Amino acid sequence: MSQKKSPRFELRSGNVDALLLALQTADMAALRDDLLSRFEATPDFFSNDVIALDLRALESDDEVSLDAVIGTLATLKARAIGVVARPAQHEWAQRFGLPLLDSQSRRGLRDAAEAAEAAERAERAAAEAAAEQSARDEAARAAAQSATEAAVKAAIQQAQTLLIDKPLRSGQQVYAQGDVVIMDVVSYGAEVIAEGNIHVYAPLRGRALAGVKGNTSARIFSTCMEPELISIAGIYRTAEQTLPADVLGKSAQVRLADEKLILEAIRMK
């Protein structure tokens, strides 16, 4: 029987973007606590992202209950879609109803090995052609990455700035798809979440979470920095860590550099 193309569906190869959660411990209770501690304060951080569980860093004899981490991710509005594992881990990893996936890094290693074998068999002209193709692929990836970054920046710039000219009381929460400007006090127990920057022209005493969709260029500004918690792109700091004397209660900004929060006083002249 001849195989004809169906007008009702189409099968084709493709790539699906997913986060990769690398498990570094077999202690699922400790892992759950760490995940909740870091992301529970930002309920929209994952926004129904799909996540693959990378088990390769676990010891060969570590058989863990993936149900615990799958449930924790569901609590954080994320969904586990599969596992990346070593061959010795395949049997027990599949007991939890998740398919085995191949990571991009493993595909890259396999492709490199196949390219090396082909280069050994190929003549000089074939090797030069492969090198030229690799250069074209790299240029295409760089162009695609540049276009993606430009699109993200454009989307952030186009997002309307949210302006709030009244106090935020304890228990109140504000979410802005772009920047947010607040002209009055953010009280203890209040929460400000923004995909862009946060500007508070008054005392900031509650929680301020900027760049929650991964915008590492986002910043937090306040004319009186006294926060319970500050966070940029998921990197956070709580009031348990006392702010520097030149920042606490003064005009200051918070920015991210090398995955570390930098707090700087703003000099008013």
Sheet holding 252-257, edge to edge: 162-164, 180-182, 198-204, 220-225, 252-257, 260-265
Q: What is the mean pLDDT of the chain?
A: 82
**97, part of any domain:** yes
In the DSSP assignment, the letter for residue 74 is H
Q: CB within 8 A of 231, min separation 6: which ones?
A: 41, 42, 207, 208, 209, 210, 212, 237
Instruction: Let me know whether 173 and 254 are in one domain.
Output: yes
Domain boundary among 82, 105, 128: 105
Q: What is the mean pLDDT of residues 99-123?
A: 59
Place 1 in a pLDDT band, splitting at 50, 70 and 90: very low
According to the model, what pLDDT value does residue 202 have? 95
Residue 183 has pLDDT above 60, yes or no: yes
SS3 label, residue 7 = coil
Please identify which residue in the block is written with the tokens 């302006």: 163
Please identify which residue in the block is written with the tokens 């900027």: 210
Q: Compute, in degrees rounded to 10, the torsion defined by CA atoms 162, 165, 166, 169.
A: 40
> What CATH number did the domain enclosing 41 receive?
3.30.70.260
**182, part of any domain:** yes
pTM listed for this prediction: 0.44
Per DSSP, the chain holds a count of helices (H) and strands (E) of 5, 14
Instruction: Let me know whether 259 and 173 are in one domain.
Output: yes
**137, part of any domain:** no
Q: CB within 8 A of 85, min separation 6: which ones?
A: 54, 55, 56, 93, 100
- CA 103 – CA 56 distance, rounded (Å): 11
SS3 label, residue 77 = coil
Whole domain around residue 53: which residue ranges?
Answer: 19-105
Domain count, the chain: 2
Residue percentage of the chain with pLDDT more than 90: 35
What does the block give as tokens for 100?
């085995």
Q: 3-state secondary structure string, 215-264? A: CCCCCEEEEEECCCEEEECCEEEECCCCCCCCCECCCEEEEEECCEEEEE
Instruction: Let me know whether 170 and 101 are in one domain.
Output: no
Q: Which amino acid is at 165?
A: D
> What CATH number did the domain enclosing 173 receive?
2.160.20.70
**169, part of any domain:** yes
**133, part of any domain:** no
Give 22-29 contacts, CB < 8 A, sequence gap 24+: 22/54, 22/56, 22/57, 23/53, 23/54, 23/55, 23/57, 23/58, 23/64, 23/69, 24/57, 26/58, 26/59, 26/62, 26/64, 28/64, 28/65, 28/68, 28/69, 29/68
According to the model, what pLDDT value does residue 251 have? 94
**37, part of any domain:** yes
Place 163 in a pLDDT band, splitting at 50, 70 and 90: very high
Q: What is the mean pLDDT of residues 149-175?
A: 80
**83, part of any domain:** yes
According to the model, what pLDDT value does residue 42 have? 75
Domain boundary among 79, 105, 131: 105
**67, part of any domain:** yes
According to the model, what pLDDT value does residue 233 have? 93
pLDDT tens digits, one per residue of 38-78: 877 776 777 778 888 888 888 766 788 888 888 888 888 88
Instruction: Let me know whether 96 and 174 are in one domain.
Output: no
Based on C-alpha coordinates, what's the Rg of the chain?
Answer: 24
Domain boundary among 86, 105, 124: 105
